[in-house]
Amino acid sequence: MKGHFIVFEGIDGAGLTTNSKFLVDWLNSIGIRAWYTKEPTQGTIGLYIRKLLKSGADPFLLTLLFTADRKEHMENEVIPKIRDGIFVVCDRYLFSTIAYQSAHGAKEELIRRLNKNFLKPDLVFLLDIDPSISLNRKQAEKESYERKEFLEKVRRKFLELASDEGFIVIPTDRPLNEIQEDIKKVMKYFLEEVGYAQEKV
């Protein structure tokens, strides 16, 4: 079995971690080796990024750091696993850099140039939600009005990317079981397309 690269994207609170982990568990349950991973990583650069995010760093600096973190992530984890025949499910990828860092003022053309040699995903799910709903979900955080405005901008960028690059858009302001049924439906179709035996699914 050939490995594949599947990506989940979306704004904060859209349900990326829950749903990408769900997909990994479901794939494993039907006998397909799958692996969950995420960006920013837990490596040295990823941890440094998380520190900077708290204090609001320069978007160009963040672009460079996210790209460096991605390079390590791809070389050390993602590519070897895919070569090993594993379905790698990645919670955020370079489209997050395009959407978030460009919304903060980094030049999209530059972000794209820096990221142009990274592996193209076989399938991208965009989990889409209105920031006023997703921010209410994150009750622990006292989110500011500016944060909502910012996430609206990020959401628009993701939707634009989805239509340009053919992402699968899944609305997530509804019950989790409905969202996950949709993810399974898309995945079954994908598995058929790549020639995975129907009876297993």
The count of residues interacting with ligand TYD (CB under 6 A) is 11
The SS3 of residue 37 is strand
Quick one: which segment of 27-35, 91-99, 117-125, 174-182 binds ligand TYD (CB under 6 A)?
91-99
By the rule CB under 6 A, 100 interacts with ligand TYD: yes
Q: Which is nearer to ligand TYD, 19 or 196 (CB)?
A: 19
Binding mask 3-22 for ligand TYD (x = CB under 6 A): ---------x----x-----
Can you say whether the dihedral through the CA atoms of 141, 45, 128, 33 is positive or negative?
negative
Among 20, 37, 97, 134, binds ligand TYD (CB under 6 A): 97
The SS3 of residue 32 is coil
Among 5, 8, 22, 66, binds ligand TYD (CB under 6 A): 66
What's the burial of 181, exposed, middle or buried (CB within 10 Å: 0-12/13-18/19+)?
Answer: exposed
Q: Which is nearer to ligand TYD, 97 or 172 (CB)?
A: 97
Among 40, 64, 87, 143, binds ligand TYD (CB under 6 A): 40
By the rule CB under 6 A, 96 interacts with ligand TYD: yes
Q: Which is nearer to ligand TYD, 39 or 187 (CB)?
A: 39
Total Cβ atoms within 10 A of residue 114:
19
C-alpha to C-alpha distance for 163 and 38, rounded to whole angstroms: 23
Q: Which is nearer to ligand TYD, 12 or 128 (CB)?
A: 12
Binding mask 125-164 for ligand TYD (x = CB under 6 A): ----------------------------------------
Can you say whether the dihedral through the CA atoms of 166, 36, 111, 101 is positive or negative?
positive
C-alpha to C-alpha distance for 29 and 76, rounded to whole angstroms: 26
By the rule CB under 6 A, 92 interacts with ligand TYD: yes
Q: Is residue 68 within 8 Å of 52, Cβ to Cβ? A: no
Q: Tell which residue, 73, 69, 74, has the closest CA to residue 52.
A: 69
C-alpha to C-alpha distance for 190 and 124, rounded to whole angstroms: 11
For the record, the structure tokens of 74 come out as 């791809």
List residues near ligand TYD by CB under 6 A: 12, 17, 39-40, 53, 66, 92, 96-97, 100-101
